[in-house]
Each structure stands twice: as structure tokens, then as C-alpha cells.
Structure 1
Amino acid sequence: MAVKTESRSVTIATADGSCDAFVAHPAGDGPHPAVLFYMDAIGLRPVLEDMARELASHGYYVLVPNLFYRSGPAPVVEVTDLSTPERRAEFFGKVMPLVHALTPDLALRDAESYLGFLAAQDQVGSGPVGLTGYCMGGVLSLRTAARFPDRVAAAASFHGGHLATEAPDSPHRSAGDVRAELYFGHASEDDSMNAEHISRLETALDAAGVTYRSEVYPDTVHGFTMSDTAAYSEAGLARHWEALLDLFARTLKQA
């Protein structure tokens, strides 16, 4: 049953500065299981804050950091109308350099700070955390689960791209380090995560003995959970919530 929530902006000290972030959690005292929510490439914005509040209403303390904080507070790139190809091309022309600048080493160094922030909160239980990530955040969800296996019990990726490439540092190559239960919700039309990539990911997970579910959402494109974009699928978002809440309910135990 959904509960009343509270939310606010916070600042997290990292090795490279101060990261602005958004927090949502059930009203009143905890403790509650913690969730680190990794944004998509569009950035920290109202739609993600609404999603964090929704997740918090089911009993979780949710942290959504601005992953691009090194370039300034959110919105680092002002989000305008993304409904036309021309506007999308202009926007992503500004955003993609930020995505590429966030190397795996930097992202995982930040992840340690985010996990440390969560552990220090009075309303957060002492048990392991959950992760959920969207688009580029899906990649970071898998990487973080592999880097911090003792601290992550569950990790989800929705329309995550480039999870299983031929690159030496492709996320799927770290499957052997994962102890968390994983969930992948793939778009049916996504050049960054097509059927070949999905097969490569699942082969690596199977070989590593990881517990996971990997599902393709029909009639969806990359970004389908985001209601402020043309990629949005109402059915896809609803199915995402069902899968995510099921994963966390089974794996995140209140301390």
C-alpha cells in the first residue's frame, strides 16, 4: 500500500566536489531500505523526481543524484521540447559530451559517495541497497552492482544501452563480480541493445551464475519509461513498476 512521502534537495560531498541530488522517502521515521536511482542522459528533472516519489511511496528511501554535477547543478543542459527529431538532435548534441566524460572510474568513485550518503541517513536501514537505472543509468546500475557486491542486493536496468559490447570494459564482462539479483527491461526497438547484445549479456550472466530476469518489452523504443519524451510507453512504464517493485520487495529487507 502506498504511503505519504517527503522529498527535498540535498548535496553530497564527493571526491571531486559537491553533487546536487534529490531525495524522496516515506514520511516519518524509518528505517527504510535504500535505493540509488540512476538518471538517464536527459538528466535530473521533474519526471525523475516524480518517479522517485512513487518508489518512495512503497517504502523506500530513494536518492537520485545529478550525475553531471562536475559541469554544474541540474539541469546542466536545459530540457526543452524533445518531441521533434531536430530538437532531440540539438539537445543530445549538448548532452553526449557529458555522458562520455563520465568514465566508469569516475562514475564508480561517485557511487561510493552515494552509497556512503545513504548509509549515513538515520531513516535508512542497515541492510543492502537496491539500484535502478535508466538509459545510461542502466549501465551504471550493473557496474555498481559488480563493484560493490557486499552492499547491493538488487539492481535493475530499464532500456539500458551498450550493456554488452565488444569493448574490453563492457559492463557484461563484470558479471562474475555480481552477487545481487538483476533485472533487465529492454526496449523491443533499440539499436544500443539489440537481440545480439541481449544474447551476449545473458550468456555472460548465465556463465557467471547470476540470478536475473531479462525481458523485452513489446512495442517500445529506447527511453520508454520517460513520460516527458516521445519515446514514452504508458504500458511499458506500468510494466516497469510491476517488475521493479517485485524485485525490491523480494530482495531488500528492512533492518
Structure 2
Amino acid sequence: MKVQSQIADINTATGVMRTYIHRPVGGKPSADGKFPTVLFYSEIFQQTGPIESAAKIIASHGYVVLVPEVFHELNPIGTVLAYDDAGRDKGNADKAAKDVQGYDTDNQAMIAFIKQQDWYDGNIGAMGFCIGGHLAFRAALQPEIKSTACFYATDLHSMTIPNKPGQHSMERLSDITGELLMIWGKQDNHIPTAGRTQVYNKLTEANLTFTWHEFNAQHAFMRDGDERYDAQTAMLCYQLALNLFSRTM
């Protein structure tokens, strides 16, 4: 399907959050004008070119995809950070500055917005890369989220995102009711083998419904244009996510 894009400025508990909406146009699944929705969470750099392209890939398969500015409280509207040392330092500083519970109110605001739209068909999922993989996991705490695809989710195995006791994402596994898809690169220097094992064991102990995939790939292997990009593996991973969404939504 072709994709059309628009912008929505959504009011949240911590300020206005610019959200980029990518919608499919034409094709049999849109006969009634309604689609399942995917909340798509970016890396620390927000909606860069590769993130926009990835969101449009999902949208072109018949999903309305919302990409929020994840650090909207900390930057002017429309901020996109560069893939360089300065952008990385700023993004990591923003990650350290935002309380994890701010993502919960962001998710609640987006879900409330979605429910008011005439294209909403009653189904919502989530997806994200890097910190966005963690934020997609965080979105899964919301009861409306039916399925979530997490790509090399950082900070799940650590306590490095600011939070109050008992509020870290891995301490709230009982809130997750949907299916999870967990995708990792075995050569990811941000998420060591011990960290992945820790996450796997906790998900298993919590008796969550999830699938687990590890590829011989580095961090950011889904990012088109990066030297670590693995196009063949990325294609497989998009198919895994689309399979998840088609089965659950």
C-alpha cells in the first residue's frame, strides 16, 4: 500500500508531544477505512530518516503507525538528533533525565487519541528499536496493547532509566497481557549475553507469552545507512513483527 503522513500534537501530562502518523492508503484492508494501530518508538535520536522509513514499511502493510517524540519534554517540538557523538550524548542525557513513568502518561495520551480517530479498528500494538525497544516493552504494560515487537531493547537488564522503586519495566511484568516478540543481536555491545539471559529468565518465570530470537548481528542492525546495518536480517525481522501483528491484531 501507499502511505500518507501527517502530524498530531498530542497533549500529555508533561506537555505537548508531537507525533508523526503514517497511514496506509488504498488496498483491500482499508475498504472500511479502519486499521490496526502500531505505536512505534524511536532510538534516542527521535524520528530520523531511518526511523521514518521503518515506520512506513509497517504502515504499508496495513497499519496506522504513530511515532512519538519520546523526549518531548526536553526538546523543542520537531527536534531530531544527528547520528554523531553530539547527538548520542544529547540523546543519552535526555534518557537519563526523563522519569520512566512519563512514558506511561505518554502512552495513555496516545491511546486516548487513537480511540477518538475514525481509522481506529480497536487493535493496538507496539514496536521499537534500541531504547525504543524498551519503550515498546513499556507500552505493553497498558492493557490495550495486544502485541509488542522489541528490537534490541536497551536498559531492560539494568536499572539505568530513572524510576521509583517498583516501577522499572522488569518489575511490572504482571501488567503485560499481550504477546511479546524479543529480537536481539548476539554481538550487541550494549546488551551482553548475561543481560539477555537475565531478561529471558524473568519473562519465563513470569509465564508471559513471548518468542525469542537472537541473530548474529550488532546493535542497530535494523538501521538503514549505518555500518552495522544487515539488510537481509532486517528483512527477516520485519517479517517476524508483521507475523506477530497479523496474528494478534
- The TM-score normalised by the length of structure 1 is 0.87
Aligned partners of 1:108 and 1:143 also within 8 Å: yes
| Equivalent pair of 2:39/2:65 in contact (CA under 8 Å) | yes
2:131 is aligned with 1:136: yes
Report deviation, 1:131: 0.3
Q: Could you say what secondary structure the match of 1:137 adopts? A: helix
Counterpart Cα distance in 1 of 2:159 and 2:18: 34
Cα distance in 1, alignment partners of residues 71 and 174 from structure 2? 29
Query: Does 2:79 correspond to 1:75?
Result: yes
CA distance, structure 2, for counterparts of residue 30 and residue 102 of structure 1: 36
In structure 2, what is the Cα distance between the partners aligned to 1:105 and 1:165? 16
Does structure 2 retain, via aligned residues, the 8 Å contact 1:173–1:204?
Answer: no
Cross-structure match for 2:182: 184
TM-score for both structures, normalised by structure 2: 0.89
Contact 2:45 2:80 (C-alpha < 8 Å) held by counterparts: no
**What are the ranges of 5 or more consecutive residues in structure 1 without an aligned counterpart?**
83-87
Paired AA for residue 180 in structure 2: L
- SS for the counterpart of 2:172 is helix
> In the alignment, which residue of structure 2 is the partner of 1:4?
2
1:112 and 2:108 correspond: yes
Give the letter for the 1:179 counterpart: T
Query: What displacement does 1:166 show?
Result: 6.0
Q: 1:19-168 counterparts in 2 under 5 A?
A: 19-27=17-25, 30-70=33-73, 71-77=75-81, 79=82, 82=83, 88-127=84-123, 129-146=124-141, 148=142, 150-165=143-158
Match of 1:174 in 2: 172
How far apart in 1 are the matches of 2:169 and 2:213? 18
Q: Secondary structure at the match of 2:195?
A: helix
User: Could you tell me how far 1:37 is from its partner in structure 2?
Assistant: 0.4
* CA displacement 1:182-214 (0-9 Å, x = unmatched): 011101112332211111111111111111011
C-alpha separation in 1, matches of 2:117 and 2:169: 30
1:213 & 1:152 partners in 2: Cα distance?
16
C-alpha deviation, 1:170, in angstroms: 4.1
Q: Between Structure 1 and Structure 2, how many residues are aligned?
A: 238
Q: CA, structure 1 residues 38+215, in 2 after alignment: closer, same or farther (shift >3 Å)?
A: same
The amino acid across from 2:213 in the alignment is: E
Q: What is the percent sequence identity of the aligned residues?
A: 26
List gaps (5 residues or longer) in structure 2.
27-31
Q: Which amino acid aligns with 1:115?
A: I
2:100–2:168 Cα contact (<8 Å) kept: no
Q: Do the aligned residues in 2 keep the contact of 1:12 with 1:20 (CA within 8 Å)?
A: yes
> Alignment RMSD, CA only?
1.7
- Residue of 225, 242, 246 corresponding to 1:249: 246
Aligned position for 1:85: none
Distance between the aligned counterparts of 1:91 and 1:166, measured in 2?
A: 23
In the other structure, the counterpart of 2:235 is: 238
- CA contact 2:10–2:19 (8 Å) conserved in 1: yes
C-alpha distance in structure 2 between counterparts of 1:100 and 1:166, whole Å: 11
The answer as to whether partners of 2:181 and 2:244 remain within 8 angstroms in 1 is yes
